[in-house]
Amino acid sequence: MPSSKATSRTIHVSALTRVEGEGALHLAVEAGKVVDLRFEIFEPPRFFEALLRGRHAAEAPDIAARICGICPVAYQMSAAHAFERLFHVQIDPAVRALRRLFYCGEWMESHALHIHMLAAPDFLGCESIVTLAEKERPAVERGLRLKQVGNAIIALLGGRSVHPVGACIGGFTRVPRPAELAALRERLARAHDDAVACVRWVAGFDLPDRHLDIEFVALRHPSEYPMNEGRVVSSKGIDCAQEEFDDCFEEHQVPHSNALHAKVKGRGPYFLGPLARMNLNFDRLGPEVAALARATGISFPSANPYTSIIVRALELVYAVAEAMRIIDAYEPPPAPSAPFRPRAGIGRAITEAPRGMLYQMYETDERGIIRSARIVPPTSQNQAQMEADLRDLAPGLLRRSQAEATRLCETAIRNYDPCISCATHFLKLDIVER
Protein backbone atom coordinates (compact mmCIF):
# COMPACT_ATOMS: atom_id res chain seq x y z
CA MET A 1 0.00 0.00 0.00
CA PRO A 2 1.45 3.39 -0.90
CA SER A 3 2.42 5.53 2.02
CA SER A 4 4.88 8.29 2.54
CA LYS A 5 6.34 9.20 5.89
CA ALA A 6 5.28 12.81 5.66
CA THR A 7 1.55 12.24 5.27
CA SER A 8 0.84 8.77 6.54
CA ARG A 9 1.34 6.40 9.38
CA THR A 10 1.63 2.70 8.75
CA ILE A 11 0.81 0.41 11.57
CA HIS A 12 2.05 -3.06 10.92
CA VAL A 13 0.90 -5.67 13.33
CA SER A 14 1.77 -9.33 13.44
CA ALA A 15 -0.42 -12.25 12.57
CA LEU A 16 -4.04 -12.91 13.51
CA THR A 17 -3.69 -15.72 15.96
CA ARG A 18 -6.08 -17.90 17.91
CA VAL A 19 -8.27 -18.45 14.89
CA GLU A 20 -8.20 -21.36 12.55
CA GLY A 21 -6.55 -20.35 9.17
CA GLU A 22 -4.56 -17.44 7.66
CA GLY A 23 -5.72 -13.88 7.09
CA ALA A 24 -4.71 -10.23 7.01
CA LEU A 25 -6.39 -6.87 7.36
CA HIS A 26 -5.54 -3.77 5.36
CA LEU A 27 -6.94 -0.47 6.41
CA ALA A 28 -6.48 2.88 4.71
CA VAL A 29 -7.67 6.03 6.43
CA GLU A 30 -7.98 9.53 5.04
CA ALA A 31 -8.80 12.47 7.27
CA GLY A 32 -10.09 10.12 9.94
CA LYS A 33 -12.33 8.28 7.49
CA VAL A 34 -11.87 4.72 6.29
CA VAL A 35 -11.32 4.80 2.53
CA ASP A 36 -10.25 1.22 1.99
CA LEU A 37 -10.62 -1.91 4.05
CA ARG A 38 -9.75 -5.40 2.97
CA PHE A 39 -9.87 -8.57 5.03
CA GLU A 40 -7.59 -10.93 3.15
CA ILE A 41 -7.62 -14.66 3.39
CA PHE A 42 -4.37 -16.30 2.31
CA GLU A 43 -5.21 -19.83 3.20
CA PRO A 44 -3.94 -21.76 0.18
CA PRO A 45 -6.88 -23.03 -1.88
CA ARG A 46 -7.38 -26.78 -1.79
CA PHE A 47 -10.05 -26.98 -4.53
CA PHE A 48 -12.47 -29.36 -2.82
CA GLU A 49 -15.29 -28.55 -5.22
CA ALA A 50 -13.03 -29.61 -8.09
CA LEU A 51 -11.52 -32.72 -6.55
CA LEU A 52 -14.96 -34.05 -5.58
CA ARG A 53 -15.85 -34.30 -9.26
CA GLY A 54 -15.62 -37.89 -10.45
CA ARG A 55 -15.85 -39.30 -6.94
CA HIS A 56 -18.80 -41.40 -5.80
CA ALA A 57 -21.52 -39.91 -3.58
CA ALA A 58 -20.67 -42.39 -0.83
CA GLU A 59 -17.12 -40.97 -0.63
CA ALA A 60 -18.25 -37.35 -0.30
CA PRO A 61 -18.91 -37.21 3.47
CA ASP A 62 -15.35 -38.42 4.24
CA ILE A 63 -13.74 -36.13 1.67
CA ALA A 64 -15.78 -33.02 2.58
CA ALA A 65 -14.90 -33.59 6.27
CA ARG A 66 -11.26 -32.83 5.38
CA ILE A 67 -12.15 -29.22 4.70
CA CYS A 68 -12.14 -28.59 8.43
CA GLY A 69 -10.60 -30.48 11.33
CA ILE A 70 -12.60 -28.40 13.84
CA CYS A 71 -16.05 -29.11 12.42
CA PRO A 72 -15.84 -32.32 10.34
CA VAL A 73 -19.24 -33.47 11.60
CA ALA A 74 -20.90 -30.47 9.98
CA TYR A 75 -19.29 -31.26 6.62
CA GLN A 76 -20.36 -34.89 6.90
CA MET A 77 -23.90 -33.97 7.90
CA SER A 78 -24.56 -31.43 5.13
CA ALA A 79 -23.12 -33.87 2.57
CA ALA A 80 -25.14 -36.83 3.82
CA HIS A 81 -28.38 -34.82 3.90
CA ALA A 82 -27.82 -33.45 0.39
CA PHE A 83 -27.46 -36.95 -1.07
CA GLU A 84 -30.34 -38.32 0.97
CA ARG A 85 -32.59 -35.64 -0.46
CA LEU A 86 -31.35 -36.42 -3.95
CA PHE A 87 -31.71 -40.21 -3.60
CA HIS A 88 -35.00 -40.02 -1.64
CA VAL A 89 -33.63 -41.85 1.42
CA GLN A 90 -35.90 -42.08 4.45
CA ILE A 91 -34.06 -41.84 7.77
CA ASP A 92 -35.21 -43.84 10.78
CA PRO A 93 -36.22 -41.55 13.69
CA ALA A 94 -33.68 -43.20 16.02
CA VAL A 95 -30.91 -42.59 13.46
CA ARG A 96 -32.08 -39.00 13.12
CA ALA A 97 -31.82 -38.61 16.90
CA LEU A 98 -28.29 -40.08 16.87
CA ARG A 99 -27.26 -37.54 14.24
CA ARG A 100 -28.50 -34.78 16.48
CA LEU A 101 -26.46 -36.33 19.30
CA PHE A 102 -23.44 -36.39 16.97
CA TYR A 103 -23.95 -32.68 16.28
CA CYS A 104 -24.34 -31.93 20.03
CA GLY A 105 -20.89 -33.48 20.43
CA GLU A 106 -19.41 -31.20 17.79
CA TRP A 107 -21.06 -28.05 19.17
CA MET A 108 -19.69 -28.93 22.62
CA GLU A 109 -16.19 -29.64 21.33
CA SER A 110 -16.03 -26.58 19.09
CA HIS A 111 -17.72 -24.12 21.48
CA ALA A 112 -15.65 -25.26 24.49
CA LEU A 113 -12.50 -24.87 22.38
CA HIS A 114 -13.48 -21.43 21.15
CA ILE A 115 -14.63 -20.04 24.50
CA HIS A 116 -11.68 -21.23 26.57
CA MET A 117 -8.76 -21.51 24.19
CA LEU A 118 -9.44 -18.84 21.60
CA ALA A 119 -11.77 -16.10 22.91
CA ALA A 120 -11.60 -15.93 26.72
CA PRO A 121 -7.94 -14.85 26.79
CA ASP A 122 -9.06 -11.62 24.99
CA PHE A 123 -11.39 -10.58 27.77
CA LEU A 124 -9.11 -11.54 30.65
CA GLY A 125 -5.96 -9.84 29.39
CA CYS A 126 -4.16 -13.07 28.57
CA GLU A 127 -2.14 -13.99 25.54
CA SER A 128 -3.24 -17.63 25.37
CA ILE A 129 -4.72 -20.54 27.21
CA VAL A 130 -1.25 -21.17 28.63
CA THR A 131 -1.23 -17.85 30.49
CA LEU A 132 -4.97 -18.09 31.15
CA ALA A 133 -4.40 -21.44 32.85
CA GLU A 134 -1.98 -19.75 35.26
CA LYS A 135 -4.67 -17.23 36.21
CA GLU A 136 -7.89 -19.20 35.99
CA ARG A 137 -6.92 -22.85 36.27
CA PRO A 138 -10.31 -24.24 37.42
CA ALA A 139 -12.16 -22.50 34.56
CA VAL A 140 -9.67 -23.80 32.01
CA GLU A 141 -9.89 -27.32 33.39
CA ARG A 142 -13.67 -27.09 33.27
CA GLY A 143 -13.49 -26.03 29.63
CA LEU A 144 -11.18 -28.88 28.76
CA ARG A 145 -13.57 -31.33 30.44
CA LEU A 146 -16.48 -29.99 28.40
CA LYS A 147 -14.46 -30.31 25.23
CA GLN A 148 -13.50 -33.84 26.16
CA VAL A 149 -17.11 -34.93 26.64
CA GLY A 150 -18.03 -33.46 23.26
CA ASN A 151 -15.15 -35.36 21.68
CA ALA A 152 -16.28 -38.53 23.48
CA ILE A 153 -19.74 -38.25 21.91
CA ILE A 154 -18.26 -37.89 18.43
CA ALA A 155 -15.82 -40.74 19.04
CA LEU A 156 -18.53 -43.06 20.29
CA LEU A 157 -20.58 -42.56 17.14
CA GLY A 158 -17.71 -42.09 14.72
CA GLY A 159 -14.67 -43.93 16.04
CA ARG A 160 -12.64 -40.72 16.68
CA SER A 161 -13.30 -37.04 17.24
CA VAL A 162 -11.42 -35.50 14.29
CA HIS A 163 -12.62 -36.84 10.94
CA PRO A 164 -14.89 -39.48 12.46
CA VAL A 165 -15.50 -42.52 10.28
CA GLY A 166 -18.96 -43.74 11.29
CA ALA A 167 -21.29 -41.35 9.44
CA CYS A 168 -22.58 -42.25 6.00
CA ILE A 169 -25.38 -41.52 3.60
CA GLY A 170 -28.44 -43.12 5.23
CA GLY A 171 -27.16 -42.96 8.80
CA PHE A 172 -24.18 -44.60 10.51
CA THR A 173 -22.12 -47.69 9.74
CA ARG A 174 -22.67 -48.83 13.33
CA VAL A 175 -24.98 -47.54 16.08
CA PRO A 176 -24.10 -47.65 19.78
CA ARG A 177 -25.52 -50.12 22.28
CA PRO A 178 -27.61 -48.53 25.05
CA ALA A 179 -24.92 -49.52 27.60
CA GLU A 180 -22.31 -47.47 25.71
CA LEU A 181 -24.57 -44.43 25.85
CA ALA A 182 -25.26 -44.98 29.55
CA ALA A 183 -21.55 -44.46 30.33
CA LEU A 184 -21.65 -41.20 28.41
CA ARG A 185 -24.81 -40.14 30.21
CA GLU A 186 -22.97 -40.06 33.55
CA ARG A 187 -20.27 -37.78 32.14
CA LEU A 188 -22.93 -35.53 30.62
CA ALA A 189 -24.56 -35.01 34.03
CA ARG A 190 -21.30 -33.49 35.29
CA ALA A 191 -20.82 -31.63 32.01
CA HIS A 192 -24.19 -29.97 32.58
CA ASP A 193 -22.97 -28.41 35.86
CA ASP A 194 -19.75 -27.42 34.08
CA ALA A 195 -21.63 -25.78 31.22
CA VAL A 196 -23.88 -23.79 33.56
CA ALA A 197 -20.80 -22.65 35.50
CA CYS A 198 -19.21 -21.67 32.19
CA VAL A 199 -22.21 -19.43 31.33
CA ARG A 200 -21.88 -17.64 34.69
CA TRP A 201 -18.11 -17.27 34.13
CA VAL A 202 -18.34 -15.68 30.68
CA ALA A 203 -21.37 -13.60 31.68
CA GLY A 204 -19.05 -11.88 34.17
CA PHE A 205 -16.59 -10.76 31.47
CA ASP A 206 -16.34 -7.08 30.70
CA LEU A 207 -17.58 -7.14 27.11
CA PRO A 208 -17.54 -4.12 24.80
CA ASP A 209 -20.94 -2.56 24.22
CA ARG A 210 -21.23 -2.20 20.44
CA HIS A 211 -24.45 -2.62 18.59
CA LEU A 212 -24.44 -3.06 14.83
CA ASP A 213 -27.12 -3.10 12.18
CA ILE A 214 -26.82 -6.77 11.28
CA GLU A 215 -28.92 -9.20 9.25
CA PHE A 216 -28.82 -12.45 11.20
CA VAL A 217 -29.40 -15.68 9.25
CA ALA A 218 -29.98 -19.17 10.64
CA LEU A 219 -32.04 -22.27 10.18
CA ARG A 220 -35.39 -22.48 11.88
CA HIS A 221 -37.17 -25.75 12.60
CA PRO A 222 -40.87 -26.05 13.53
CA SER A 223 -40.17 -27.46 16.97
CA GLU A 224 -36.44 -27.83 17.63
CA TYR A 225 -33.43 -25.61 18.13
CA PRO A 226 -31.88 -25.96 14.65
CA MET A 227 -29.07 -28.38 13.85
CA ASN A 228 -29.71 -30.67 10.89
CA GLU A 229 -32.96 -29.33 9.51
CA GLY A 230 -35.10 -26.26 9.04
CA ARG A 231 -35.94 -23.35 6.79
CA VAL A 232 -33.54 -20.49 6.21
CA VAL A 233 -34.74 -17.37 8.03
CA SER A 234 -33.30 -13.94 8.69
CA SER A 235 -33.86 -11.00 11.01
CA LYS A 236 -34.81 -8.93 7.95
CA GLY A 237 -37.51 -11.16 6.59
CA ILE A 238 -35.94 -14.00 4.62
CA ASP A 239 -37.89 -17.22 4.98
CA CYS A 240 -36.99 -19.78 2.33
CA ALA A 241 -36.54 -23.48 1.84
CA GLN A 242 -32.97 -24.83 1.91
CA GLU A 243 -33.29 -25.56 -1.80
CA GLU A 244 -33.89 -21.85 -2.43
CA PHE A 245 -30.57 -20.77 -0.87
CA ASP A 246 -29.20 -19.61 -4.22
CA ASP A 247 -32.30 -17.50 -4.83
CA CYS A 248 -31.69 -15.52 -1.67
CA PHE A 249 -27.90 -15.41 -1.35
CA GLU A 250 -25.05 -14.93 -3.79
CA GLU A 251 -21.32 -15.50 -3.70
CA HIS A 252 -18.79 -13.31 -5.42
CA GLN A 253 -15.03 -13.27 -5.68
CA VAL A 254 -12.89 -10.37 -4.53
CA PRO A 255 -9.30 -10.01 -5.74
CA HIS A 256 -7.82 -9.86 -2.24
CA SER A 257 -9.10 -13.14 -0.87
CA ASN A 258 -8.96 -16.85 -1.61
CA ALA A 259 -12.38 -17.26 -0.04
CA LEU A 260 -15.51 -16.21 -1.88
CA HIS A 261 -17.61 -13.51 -0.25
CA ALA A 262 -21.35 -13.92 0.19
CA LYS A 263 -24.23 -11.53 0.59
CA VAL A 264 -27.98 -11.39 0.68
CA LYS A 265 -29.12 -10.73 -2.88
CA GLY A 266 -29.94 -7.08 -3.39
CA ARG A 267 -28.87 -6.25 0.17
CA GLY A 268 -25.55 -6.92 1.79
CA PRO A 269 -23.56 -8.83 4.36
CA TYR A 270 -25.13 -11.22 6.83
CA PHE A 271 -24.13 -12.85 10.11
CA LEU A 272 -24.22 -16.59 10.79
CA GLY A 273 -23.46 -18.59 13.91
CA PRO A 274 -24.54 -19.01 17.51
CA LEU A 275 -25.73 -15.41 17.97
CA ALA A 276 -27.83 -15.63 14.79
CA ARG A 277 -29.25 -18.98 15.81
CA MET A 278 -30.22 -17.76 19.26
CA ASN A 279 -31.66 -14.45 18.06
CA LEU A 280 -33.86 -16.28 15.59
CA ASN A 281 -34.71 -19.35 17.69
CA PHE A 282 -34.90 -18.12 21.27
CA ASP A 283 -38.35 -19.67 21.62
CA ARG A 284 -36.88 -23.09 20.74
CA LEU A 285 -34.31 -23.18 23.55
CA GLY A 286 -36.59 -24.66 26.18
CA PRO A 287 -37.31 -23.16 29.60
CA GLU A 288 -34.01 -24.02 31.30
CA VAL A 289 -31.63 -22.43 28.79
CA ALA A 290 -34.02 -19.51 28.18
CA ALA A 291 -34.04 -18.76 31.92
CA LEU A 292 -30.24 -18.96 32.03
CA ALA A 293 -30.05 -16.67 29.01
CA ARG A 294 -32.30 -14.07 30.68
CA ALA A 295 -30.24 -14.29 33.85
CA THR A 296 -27.18 -13.10 31.88
CA GLY A 297 -28.88 -9.73 31.51
CA ILE A 298 -28.66 -9.72 27.72
CA SER A 299 -31.94 -9.07 25.96
CA PHE A 300 -32.41 -11.20 22.88
CA PRO A 301 -32.35 -10.53 20.01
CA SER A 302 -28.91 -9.04 20.67
CA ALA A 303 -27.16 -6.93 18.04
CA ASN A 304 -23.90 -6.83 20.01
CA PRO A 305 -21.48 -9.32 18.37
CA TYR A 306 -19.42 -9.52 21.59
CA THR A 307 -22.28 -11.34 23.28
CA SER A 308 -21.42 -14.27 21.01
CA ILE A 309 -19.16 -15.78 23.65
CA ILE A 310 -22.05 -15.91 26.13
CA VAL A 311 -24.33 -17.36 23.49
CA ARG A 312 -21.77 -20.08 22.79
CA ALA A 313 -21.77 -20.97 26.48
CA LEU A 314 -25.57 -21.06 26.46
CA GLU A 315 -25.49 -23.35 23.44
CA LEU A 316 -23.09 -25.56 25.38
CA VAL A 317 -25.75 -25.96 28.06
CA TYR A 318 -28.33 -26.62 25.38
CA ALA A 319 -26.16 -29.23 23.65
CA VAL A 320 -25.41 -31.05 26.91
CA ALA A 321 -29.09 -31.11 27.93
CA GLU A 322 -30.18 -32.16 24.45
CA ALA A 323 -27.59 -34.96 24.41
CA MET A 324 -28.94 -36.26 27.72
CA ARG A 325 -32.51 -36.08 26.43
CA ILE A 326 -31.58 -38.05 23.30
CA ILE A 327 -29.72 -40.70 25.29
CA ASP A 328 -32.63 -41.09 27.74
CA ALA A 329 -35.06 -41.69 24.89
CA TYR A 330 -32.74 -43.92 22.86
CA GLU A 331 -33.83 -47.19 21.44
CA PRO A 332 -31.54 -48.68 18.84
CA PRO A 333 -32.88 -48.38 15.28
CA PRO A 334 -33.68 -51.55 13.30
CA ALA A 335 -30.69 -50.87 11.04
CA PRO A 336 -27.74 -48.47 11.43
CA SER A 337 -28.37 -46.97 8.01
CA ALA A 338 -30.98 -46.90 5.26
CA PRO A 339 -29.76 -48.21 1.90
CA PHE A 340 -29.72 -45.86 -1.09
CA ARG A 341 -29.97 -46.20 -4.85
CA PRO A 342 -28.18 -43.45 -6.74
CA ARG A 343 -29.99 -41.43 -9.36
CA ALA A 344 -29.09 -38.51 -11.52
CA GLY A 345 -30.01 -35.08 -10.20
CA ILE A 346 -29.16 -32.33 -7.76
CA GLY A 347 -29.25 -32.50 -3.97
CA ARG A 348 -28.82 -29.60 -1.58
CA ALA A 349 -28.65 -29.36 2.19
CA ILE A 350 -27.82 -26.89 4.93
CA THR A 351 -26.98 -27.79 8.50
CA GLU A 352 -25.87 -25.65 11.43
CA ALA A 353 -22.13 -26.05 11.88
CA PRO A 354 -20.89 -24.69 15.22
CA ARG A 355 -20.01 -21.40 13.44
CA GLY A 356 -23.16 -21.22 11.31
CA MET A 357 -24.98 -22.50 8.25
CA LEU A 358 -23.02 -24.79 5.97
CA TYR A 359 -24.52 -25.23 2.51
CA GLN A 360 -23.58 -28.02 0.12
CA MET A 361 -24.92 -28.89 -3.32
CA TYR A 362 -24.08 -31.95 -5.36
CA GLU A 363 -25.03 -33.01 -8.85
CA THR A 364 -24.63 -36.70 -9.67
CA ASP A 365 -25.13 -39.01 -12.62
CA GLU A 366 -27.27 -42.14 -12.46
CA ARG A 367 -24.38 -44.16 -10.94
CA GLY A 368 -23.96 -41.62 -8.12
CA ILE A 369 -20.75 -40.16 -9.58
CA ILE A 370 -20.43 -36.47 -8.65
CA ARG A 371 -20.60 -34.18 -11.68
CA SER A 372 -20.38 -30.94 -9.76
CA ALA A 373 -20.20 -29.83 -6.16
CA ARG A 374 -20.64 -26.58 -4.32
CA ILE A 375 -19.68 -26.00 -0.71
CA VAL A 376 -20.42 -22.70 1.01
CA PRO A 377 -18.83 -22.72 4.48
CA PRO A 378 -20.02 -20.43 7.27
CA THR A 379 -16.77 -18.44 7.45
CA SER A 380 -16.89 -17.42 3.81
CA GLN A 381 -20.50 -16.30 4.32
CA ASN A 382 -19.49 -14.29 7.38
CA GLN A 383 -16.53 -12.65 5.65
CA ALA A 384 -18.37 -9.64 4.28
CA GLN A 385 -19.98 -9.08 7.67
CA MET A 386 -16.54 -9.29 9.33
CA GLU A 387 -15.36 -6.54 6.98
CA ALA A 388 -18.41 -4.44 7.78
CA ASP A 389 -17.76 -4.92 11.48
CA LEU A 390 -14.10 -3.88 11.10
CA ARG A 391 -15.10 -0.87 9.01
CA ASP A 392 -17.31 0.26 11.87
CA LEU A 393 -14.48 -0.32 14.32
CA ALA A 394 -11.77 1.34 12.22
CA PRO A 395 -12.16 5.06 13.06
CA GLY A 396 -11.64 4.28 16.74
CA LEU A 397 -8.38 2.48 16.03
CA LEU A 398 -6.38 5.45 14.87
CA ARG A 399 -5.74 6.87 18.30
CA ARG A 400 -4.66 3.49 19.61
CA SER A 401 -1.24 1.96 19.89
CA GLN A 402 -0.26 -0.68 17.42
CA ALA A 403 -0.67 -3.51 19.93
CA GLU A 404 -4.00 -2.20 21.14
CA ALA A 405 -5.41 -1.76 17.62
CA THR A 406 -4.51 -5.31 16.72
CA ARG A 407 -6.01 -6.67 19.88
CA LEU A 408 -9.28 -4.84 19.21
CA CYS A 409 -9.48 -6.12 15.61
CA GLU A 410 -8.64 -9.65 16.59
CA THR A 411 -11.20 -9.64 19.38
CA ALA A 412 -13.86 -8.38 16.96
CA ILE A 413 -13.01 -11.03 14.37
CA ARG A 414 -12.98 -13.81 16.93
CA ASN A 415 -16.67 -13.08 17.68
CA TYR A 416 -17.31 -14.81 14.36
CA ASP A 417 -15.19 -17.82 15.39
CA PRO A 418 -13.77 -17.83 11.89
CA CYS A 419 -12.47 -21.11 10.77
CA ILE A 420 -10.31 -19.81 8.00
CA SER A 421 -9.25 -23.30 6.96
CA CYS A 422 -12.84 -23.73 6.01
CA ALA A 423 -13.09 -20.57 4.06
CA THR A 424 -9.87 -20.48 3.80
CA HIS A 425 -4.54 -17.83 10.30
CA PHE A 426 -2.58 -14.93 10.40
CA LEU A 427 -3.89 -11.43 10.39
CA LYS A 428 -1.42 -8.82 9.40
CA LEU A 429 -2.87 -5.44 10.20
CA ASP A 430 -1.68 -2.50 8.15
CA ILE A 431 -3.19 0.84 8.92
CA VAL A 432 -2.25 3.53 6.46
CA GLU A 433 -3.20 7.08 7.25
CA ARG A 434 -3.17 9.28 4.21
Partner 1 sequence: MKPRVAVFKFASCDGCQLQFLNAEDELLVLTQEVDLVSFPEARSRELRGPYDISFVEGSITTPQDARRIIKVRADSRALITIGACATAGGIQALRNWASIEDYKRIVYPSPEFISTLSTSTPISEHVRVDFEIWGCPIDKRQLLAVIRSLLSGARPALPTHSVCMECKRSGAVCVAVAQGEPCLGPVTRAGCGAICPNVHRGCYGCFGPSDDPNMPSFAALLRQHGLSRDEAVRRLRGINGYVRPLRDTSDAIEQGDE
Nearer to partner 1, 242 or 380 (CB): 380
54: left (phi over 0), alpha (psi -120 to 50) or beta: left
Q: Which residues are registered as beta bridge partners of 362?
A: 347, 373
Q: Which is nearer to partner 1, 17 or 304 (CB)?
A: 17
Among residues 163, 112, 119, 172, the alpha carbon closest in space to that of 142 is found at 112
Q: Which of 161, 234, 279, 380 binds partner 1 (CB under 8 A)?
A: 161
* Least distance (Å) between residue 148 CB and partner 1: 5
Among 40, 92, 410, 417, binds partner 1 (CB under 8 A): 410
The reply to whether 425 sits near partner 1 by the rule CB under 8 A is yes
Q: How far apart are CA 386 and CA 41, in angstroms?
A: 12
Q: How far apart are CA 432 and CA 156, in angstroms?
A: 51
- Asked if 172 touches partner 1 (CB under 8 A), the answer is yes
Nearer to partner 1, 205 or 426 (CB): 426
250 binds partner 1 (CB under 8 A): no
Cα angle 189, 206, 405 (rounded to 5 degrees) comes to 125
Integer Cα distance of 275 and 214 in angstroms: 11
CB of 403 to partner 1, least distance (A): 10
Buried-state track 295-326, b at ≥16 Cβ within 10 A, e below 16: ebebebebebbbbbbbbbbbbbbbbbbbbbeb
In the complex, the smallest distance separating the C-beta of residue 59 from partner 1, rounded to whole angstroms, is 7
- The DSSP string of 353-371 is ETTEEEEEEEEE-TT-BEE
Of the candidates 26, 55, 190, 428, which one interacts with partner 1 according to CB under 8 A?
A: 55
Binding mask 255-284 vs partner 1 (x if CB under 8 A, - otherwise)?
x--x-x------------------------
To the nearest whole angstrom, how small is the minimum distance from the Cβ of residue 170 to partner 1? 12
Is residue 174 involved in binding partner 1 (CB under 8 A)?
A: yes
Beta bridge partners of 36: 28
Question: Residue 328 CB: number of other CB atoms within 10 A?
Answer: 10
Q: Which residues contact 90 (CB under 8 A, 6 or more apart)?
A: 338
- For partner 1, the binding residue among 10, 173, 235, 304 (CB under 8 A) is 173
Of how many residues is the chain composed? 434
8-state DSSP, 124 = T
Euclidean distance between CA atoms 222 and 258, whole angstroms: 36
Binding residue for partner 1 (CB under 8 A) from 62, 84, 229, 315?
A: 62
187 binds partner 1 (CB under 8 A): no
Distance, in Å, from the CA atom of 251 to the CA atom of 261, rounded to the nearest integer, reads: 5
Binding segment for partner 1 (CB under 8 A), chosen from 2-10, 58-66, 261-269, 346-354, is: 58-66
Q: In the chain, what is the straight-line distance between the N-terminal and C-terminal CA atoms, in Å?
A: 11
Compute the least distance from the CB of residue 24 to partner 1, in Å: 13
Q: Which of 419, 423, 431, 432 binds partner 1 (CB under 8 A)?
A: 419
If one asks whether residue 151 binds partner 1 (CB under 8 A), the answer comes out as yes
d(CA 337, CA 255): 44
Q: Which is nearer to partner 1, 20 or 229 (CB)?
A: 20
Q: Between residue 8 and residue 47, which ones bind partner 1 under the rule CB under 8 A?
A: 14-15, 17-22, 43-47
> Could you say whether residue 171 binds partner 1 (CB under 8 A)?
no
Where helices occur in 329-401 by DSSP H, the ranges are 378-393
Where on the chain is the footprint of partner 1 (CB under 8 A)? 14-15, 17-22, 43-51, 53-56, 59, 62-63, 66-70, 72, 113, 117, 121, 127-130, 133, 140-141, 144-145, 147-148, 151, 158-163, 165-166, 168, 172-174, 252-253, 255, 258, 260, 336, 372, 410, 419, 421, 425-426
